[in-house]
């Protein structure tokens, strides 16, 4: 970074879009020097390990809002998205060509919507209010969980979503492989954040979720009946 006295070089303040490659990906560590960035492309970049990924992606928190973040054809994982991307407000998140994310399976997109509440679009598809509400209820352990009332419903519309089906499937995904294998709890409602690492090391997330369920929801919901509804095709018909 070149300084002119106390002021940074003006050109850095004017840059709104940046495309990084594997050779210059370390620019991310000082990305705060580009205060007006709106579009960031990391297309085809590879992250080697968790520590390196943390050093590269955590600095993105310097931005209150991003227009586009392109992570297509990278090796980004569900875990890294939740750790470093979930806090960001992003208008359009691009995740094309990532083998970990089978978008031909609706539950994959749904899980990303559930985990990334501040993303407005994924792969050029806008996330409607009804869609976000459905997946939030689907993956949440409570049958009466709702999206924050501060969300303005009038900005969203999706006529394809049936309210009765939505209610019937509430909580159905809480034992899915996405929750059991990939989900990282963002708050301390069930697993204290300082203990999260220790719980994850146990490698038995399903038992933990069942314990939470029994403790907080008195076992009023039978997850097997929901799974049966999924197997019977109700979920597929809905989507």
Q: How far apart are the C-alpha atoms of 179 and 177, rounded to whole Å?
A: 5
Contact indicator for 116, 85 with CB cutoff of 8 Å: yes
Answer whether 0.75 is exceeded by the pTM: no
Q: List the chain domain ranges.
A: 8-238
Contact yes or no for 21/43 (Cβ under 8 A)? no
pLDDT along the chain (239 residues), means of 10: 51 88 94 93 92 92 95 95 94 95 93 96 96 93 46 37 50 84 71 42 47 49 44 44
**Encoded tokens for 239:** 């989507």
Give 3-state DSSP helix, strand, coil % of the chain, rounded to 5.
45, 10, 45
- Alpha-carbon gap, residue 105 to 236, rounded angstroms: 10
């Amino acid at each position: 970074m070149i300084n002119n006295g106390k002021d940074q070089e003006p050109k850095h303040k004017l840059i709104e879009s940046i495309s990084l490659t594997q050779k210059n990906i370390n620019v991310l560590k000082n990305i705060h020097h580009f205060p007006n960035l709106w579009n960031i492309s990391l297309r085809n970049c590879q992250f080697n390990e968790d520590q390196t990924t943390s050093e590269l992606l955590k600095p993105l928190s310097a931005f209150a809002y991003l227009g586009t973040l392109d992570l297509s054809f990278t090796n980004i994982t569900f875990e890294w998205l939740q750790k470093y991307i979930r806090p960001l407000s992003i208008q359009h998140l691009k995740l094309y060509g990532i083998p970990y994310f089978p978008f031909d399976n609706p539950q994959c997109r749904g899980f990303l919507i559930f985990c990334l509440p501040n993303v407005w679009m994924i792969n050029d598809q806008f996330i409607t209010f009804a869609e976000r509400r459905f997946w939030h209820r689907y993956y949440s352990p409570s049958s009466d969980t709702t999206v924050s009332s501060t969300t303005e419903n009038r900005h969203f519309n999706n006529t394809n979503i049936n309210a009765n089906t939505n209610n019937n499937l509430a909580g159905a995904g809480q034992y899915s492989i996405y929750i059991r294998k990939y989900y990282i709890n963002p708050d301390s409602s069930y697993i204290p954040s300082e203990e999260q690492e220790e719980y994850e090391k146990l490698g038995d997330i399903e038992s933990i979720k069942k314990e939470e369920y029994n403790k907080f929801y008195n076992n009023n919901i039978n997850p097997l009946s929901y799974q049966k509804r999924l197997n019977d095709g109700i979920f597929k018909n809905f989507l």
